[in-house]
Structure 1
Amino acid sequence: MALRELIPWNNGSRNLPARRTEVDNPFLSLHREMNRLFDDVFRGVDIGQFAPPATMGWPSVEFNETDKEVKVIAELPGIEQKDVEVELADGVLTISGEKKSETKDKERRFSERYYGRFERRIPVDDVDQDKVAASFKDGILTVTLPKSPTEQRKVKRIAINGK
């Protein structure tokens, strides 16, 4: 008895089952071709670079809150202080500005850097608008929003008892 005869799907014959070709099923052929095209187009492409800056949350911000104030710290690398505006209206802090290109190089073919206008709106409640202050140093914008006296009284610390 030959080893070939022990293999159940061979049945001792040398004939292999024919593979059905893609030509037999046009929908399967179309499906595979579309998958191949999408794979080729999106291979190695970061979709995030095509999203507008507002959806990416640029500039990046950090919030720090105490009983007396809220601090908003925004990273604005490569932007000068004169190109940044900070406004507070109707309980919304708006940080806006423009990052300009350092060079007017028309021969540039590729750039991953972002240039252009940006705006970030942050809702804030019960702050003393007359005492809001902002500072800018080394590309870091810090906005200090003191809480109103009524908001400060709303905060009550609750002690936690251990067992």
Structure 2
Amino acid sequence: MAELAIWRPLQELRREIDRIWDEFFGRTQFPERWERFEWAPAVDVSETEEAVVVRADVPGLEPEDLEISLSGNFLTIKGEKKQEREEKKENFYRMERLYGSFVRSIELPAEVEADKVEATYKNGVLKIVLPKKAEAKGKTIKVKVEK
């Protein structure tokens, strides 16, 4: 007697997509393939009336390991996260933290005053405040009421 099987196309599709994803990235079967991936810090870019503000997550880096430059309308953040090495032998079961050099170039939404840029570092977060040029700030025009 034959068994009756329920066909669930969405579940099969999901399994197939997961298999292709895992095969391509190798995360579940070959964790050592993570070593190939380069890392780059996540950034937030926001804008106020006065400035463009960029925040970058750079935990484990020292401020002296960072280089910030401005060229035209592009802000570039460079750095290197060095792997901690100790003399004692360790047998790793999993290594997921990423290390190495990175470069992030961000197009700014407004023209800024290059000579007034300030960068601060606190708790692993780099904050860059880029004051806008006067013409980029815009001008508010009040409407006069005639009587």
Tell me how far apart the structure 2 counterparts of residues 78 and 43 of structure 1 sit (CA, whole Å). Answer: 24
Change (3 A) 1:114 1:133: same
Change (3 A) 1:79 1:133: same
- CA shift at 1:141, angstroms? 0.2
1:1-163 correspondence runs (5 A): 44-45=28-29, 49=34, 50-53=36-39, 58-104=40-86, 109=92, 110-124=94-108, 125-153=110-138
Amino acid of the residue matched to residue 135 of structure 1? T
- CA shift at 1:91, angstroms? 1.4
Tell me how far apart the structure 2 counterparts of residues 122 and 103 of structure 1 sit (CA, whole Å). Answer: 32
- The aligned counterpart of 2:11 is none
Larger Cα-atom Rg: 1
Tell me how far apart the structure 1 counterparts of residues 56 and 76 of structure 2 sit (CA, whole Å). Answer: 11
More helix by share: 1
Following TM superposition, where does structure 1 have runs of at least 4 consecutive aligned residues deviating by more than 6 angstroms? none
Tell me how far apart the structure 2 counterparts of residues 123 and 71 of structure 1 sit (CA, whole Å). Answer: 12
Q: Deviations over 1:9-30 (max 9, x none)?
A: xxxxxxx9xxxxxxxxxxxxxx
Tell me how far apart the structure 2 counterparts of residues 140 and 70 of structure 1 sit (CA, whole Å). Answer: 16
Does the 8 A contact of 2:53 with 2:129 survive in 1? Answer: yes
Change (3 A) 1:84 1:148: same
SS, match of residue 77 in structure 1: coil
Tell me how far apart the structure 2 counterparts of residues 130 and 83 of structure 1 sit (CA, whole Å). Answer: 21
Change (3 A) 1:128 1:43: closer
For structure 2, the residue ranges without an aligned partner over 5 or more in a row are 2-15, 142-147
Tell me how far apart the structure 1 counterparts of residues 42 and 74 of structure 2 sit (CA, whole Å). Answer: 17
- CA shift at 1:52, angstroms? 3.2
Change (3 A) 1:147 1:45: farther
- The aligned counterpart of 1:4 is none
Q: Deviations over 1:61-110 (max 9, x none)?
A: 11221111110000001111111111101211001100011214575544
Change (3 A) 1:137 1:92: same
- Calculate the TM-score normalised by the size of structure 1: 0.60
Identity of aligned residues (%): 37
CA RMSD, Structure 1 to Structure 2 (Å): 3.2
